[in-house]
A and B are shown apart, each in its own frame.
Chain A
Amino acid sequence: MAWLIVTFVGYREVKYLPFYTFSTVFRITVTLLISIIWGVSFGILAATNRLASLILTPFIDLLQSIPILGYFPMVIGFLFALGPLGVELSVIALLFTSMAWAIFFGVLGAIRGIPANVVESARSFGLKGWRYTRHVVLPAITPAVVSGANLAWCDGWFFMIAAEYIQYQGRIVTPPSGGLGYLLATAAYYYKDMNLAIILLIFITFIVVYFNILAWHRLMERASTGTFKPVFRMDLSGVGKLGVAKATRWLHFGRLHWPRAFSIVHQRLRKYTRIEKIVAAVLAFSVVFFILYLESEHFPNLATILEGFNEPPGEELVSLPMLIALTMGRLTIAYVISLAVAIGLGVLAAEHKKLASVIYPLYDIGQGVPILALFPVLFLGLNQLIGTPRIALELTCIIMLVLDMIWYMFLNIASAAKNIPTEINEVGKLFGFKGLKRVTHLVVPSILPSIVTGSILSWGTGWNTIIFAEYMPSTEPTVPPLSVPGIGSLLDKAGYQYGNTVLLIFILGIIASIVLSMEGFLWRRLFRKFEKYHIEV
């Protein structure tokens, strides 16, 4: 207790804790409402209007594929000119770019997933226009909206620390009304006070878990008992009693298990027609050209664009392949660790009820920790322990990646292992599969599709995190920021330190192409291959 008081007294910012809490909650709530309105209206539009779908879906998918933290500086730069209100708006804009997608794709998937017989019977009774929307579409999307909103809410907390402590061209921009992310970043970066940072981190985790259990649990229960129960049902039992937040990503269509994330990925990979793919490619190029065109106002000719490559940190471009390899290496190490641990824990949790009662609560709290907020705390701790900032940052980076990626893997694997159809389990029992034989012949093959889904999600979130984690901002103008070599830190330097827009866009393009080609060449193939493993029940 004394320790608590000693830690808290002496920082004037701490006095504002209640206000900051309110300000962050309020900010995320406002962004959530905007995201819901945007996601539902655009989702319905894209799902019901073919032309809108052709243009919107690939475009939004593209935006979603680019690591969100990557285009922070680009989205917001001009808003700062508007003064304090502009800064508040830019924070909301940043949060929006991290929150909106889940709802949009959830709505799109839910509408496209309405069974043909429901659509046909509605049509045959003459339901059209608003009536059709009101009686068929809205009930159908309610579970998707609620679970998508919950995802968005969690994502909002995840990005909150980055959004409330914006590094822009070498300076720090914070919203005038403050916030928990701002407070934590100040404690860690500015005061470098471990104790305060840890206390704040626990406080933030508590708030996230509190909201998840209290508000979202009830909301989702209500949504699942909606009018559409026989057709669309949300899996509330999910993983463990408290694993509500992410477990509800599992949507049930009839008796088929469709993890929400799975349906997004599935739809992303399968439902594109050739025309949509072409439109996507054309759009991707035109977006890049459009941005370049906009920027060309600032850089009127080719010479200045080329000059952008020569300005710092342009000199590091020489070692670009090396930087990409380093970043990919970190991601791979973290991925392999998460994969191994998640398979072990997921299978154990599904097979042993007693272990599950230990693992699931851990999962609940673990996934409630806003990982980005953990970054400064982890770094401070490791730095004190090791003494070499470089190594400490390298370690921090990998630990953060593991902590970030593992939950997606674990959730997907545990749910799949738990949802192995009874008949398959009975076949195993009847013919005497036991121990290792059971695991290799039954459990592992049946969770393979989920491993692919989990991998896609965890690489996606991993890219986001690594952009943040390879680079440690500095609070004193004289001290250069600390970073480990990698394409993520190069992006940060271009964006935050030097404000080199040309380079920023170039690196973003490279990252986007890596992400997209991994999806195309690796995940899509695996996905197709393992799709047959889904057991039709």
Chain B
Amino acid sequence: MSLLEVENVTKTFVENTSKIFVLNNVSFSVGNDEFDCLVGPSGCGKSTLLRIVAGLEKADSGKILFHEQPIIQPTPKISMVFQLFGLLPWKTALENVDLPLEVLGVKKEDRIQIAKEYLKMVELEDFENTYPHDLSGGMKQRVGIARALAVQPELLLMDEPFSSLDELTAKTLRELVLGIWRDRSTPPNSILMVSHNVEEAVYMADRVIVISPRPGKIIGEVKINIPRPRYQQLREPVFFKLVDEVVEILEKGKTMTHDKSLHR
């Protein structure tokens, strides 16, 4: 049985009295120990989809099942890493990681212990008492990752986590995330990531799910069966073949909506 099941999710936003059709009948699932990636053009609703899974937004119709239970509000079993980090500027790195644990009711000494442990995992042990203002973008996202992991989630959601970082930093953090995911002794079991960088998706994920331009719906999926670690495979034809496959589906998605608009 899958860890997460998304069934026929539809979502519209109302803005200034005009309706915006964001997600159209989206269904997919994420299995245990799986790393899945949602790819699509900007504005296709993939971030909204992730927020619905997190319990931050409500779908108009359809179901989100986690361990076969519907998700109606955020749960510590599903955690999230944000595009712009979402750190509280008035709290140090340690306090930022500590706060969700406090909400969960963990004892103070244990909390500090756990927070330190996770900061160490993201190689920030020397910056525990630094405020976000004084951290670089990459370091901020490391704090964001530590905070998301500290609550021991089964499923980690990542909303374009590397897109506001420079390429070198992004590369390092991708390895960090992959390392943590592949270490079965630590959470999370599964990762669902949103990206608009096809190479990144193919490099990291087991499966790339392609979403069409708005209203977003799933127009294809590509299984990535390159053995891990993939660091050596980056220049292999098999990698480029899979990237091309995803790009092709994306291009097809573009013309599909184009045709539709012509028909109107």
Contacts and interface: CB of A to CB of B under 8 A. Distances in A.
A426 B82 contact: yes
B104 interface: yes
A442 interface: yes
B76 interface: yes
A103 interface: no
21 contacts: A423-B83, A423-B86, A424-B86, A426-B51, A426-B54, A426-B82, A427-B88, A429-B74, A430-B55, A431-B74, A431-B103, A431-B151, A432-B74, A432-B103, A445-B88, A446-B90, A532-B131, A533-B89, A533-B90, A534-B89, A535-B89
B31 interface: no
A537 interface: yes
B54 A532 contact: no
A298 interface: no
A448 interface: yes
Contacts of B74: 429-432
Of the four ranges (under 10, 10 to 19, 20 to 34, 35 or more), the interface on chain B belongs to: 20 to 34
A533 B90 CA distance: 6
Interface in A523-537: 532-535, 537
B51 A423 contact: no
Interface in A127-152: none
A433 interface: yes
A445 B56 contact: no
Contact of B89 (A429, A432, A532): A532
Given A429-B74, A430-B74, A532-B131, A424 B103 contact: no
B100 A432 contact: yes
B103 A423 contact: no
Contact of A432 (B76, B82, B90, B133): B76
Contacts of A426: 51, 54, 56, 80, 82, 86
A437 B86 contact: no
Nearest to A430: B74
A537 B80 contact: no
A441 interface: yes
A433 B76 CA distance: 12
Interface of A: 421, 423-424, 426-427, 429-433, 437, 441-442, 445-446, 448, 532-535, 537
Contacts of A442: 88
Nearest to A431: B100
Interface of B is mostly: loop
A459 B87 CA distance: 32
Interface in B90-147: 90-91, 99-100, 103-104, 131, 133
Nearest to B140: A536
B249 interface: no
A445 B91 CA distance: 9
Nearest to A432: B103
Contact of A437 (B51, B56, B82, B103): B103
B79 interface: yes
A315 B51 CA distance: 71
A446 B87 CA distance: 12
Contacts of A431: 74, 76, 99-100, 103, 151
A99 to B, nearest CB: 35
A92 B91 CA distance: 51
Given A431-B151, A432-B74, A432-B103, 17 more contacts: A423-B84, A423-B86, A427-B86, A427-B87, A429-B74, A430-B56, A431-B74, A431-B100, A432-B100, A433-B103, A441-B91, A445-B89, A445-B90, A533-B89, A534-B89, A535-B89, A537-B84
Closest 10 pairs (CB-CB, A-B): A431-B100, A445-B90, A532-B133, A423-B86, A427-B86, A430-B74, A432-B103, A533-B89, A533-B90, A423-B82
Interface string B209-252: 00000000000000000000000000000000000000000000
B80 to A, nearest CB: 5
B22 to A, nearest CB: 16
Contacts of B91: 441
A437 B82 CA distance: 21
Contacts of B54: 426, 430
A534 B85 CA distance: 14
A421 B56 CA distance: 14
Nearest to B104: A432
Contact of B90 (A421, A427, A437, A448): A448
A254 to B, nearest CB: 14
Contacts of A441: 88, 91, 99
A430 B51 CA distance: 10
B143 to A, nearest CB: 12
Contacts of A535: 89
Contacts of A448: 90
A388 to B, nearest CB: 47
Contacts of B83: 423
Interface string B57-89: 000000000000000001010011011111111
A537 B85 CA distance: 10
Nearest to A437: B103
B57 to A, nearest CB: 9
Contacts of A446: 90
Contacts of B133: 532
A427 B74 CA distance: 10
Given A429-B56, A532-B131, A424 B88 contact: yes
A133 B91 CA distance: 44
B103 A427 contact: no
A533 B89 CA distance: 5
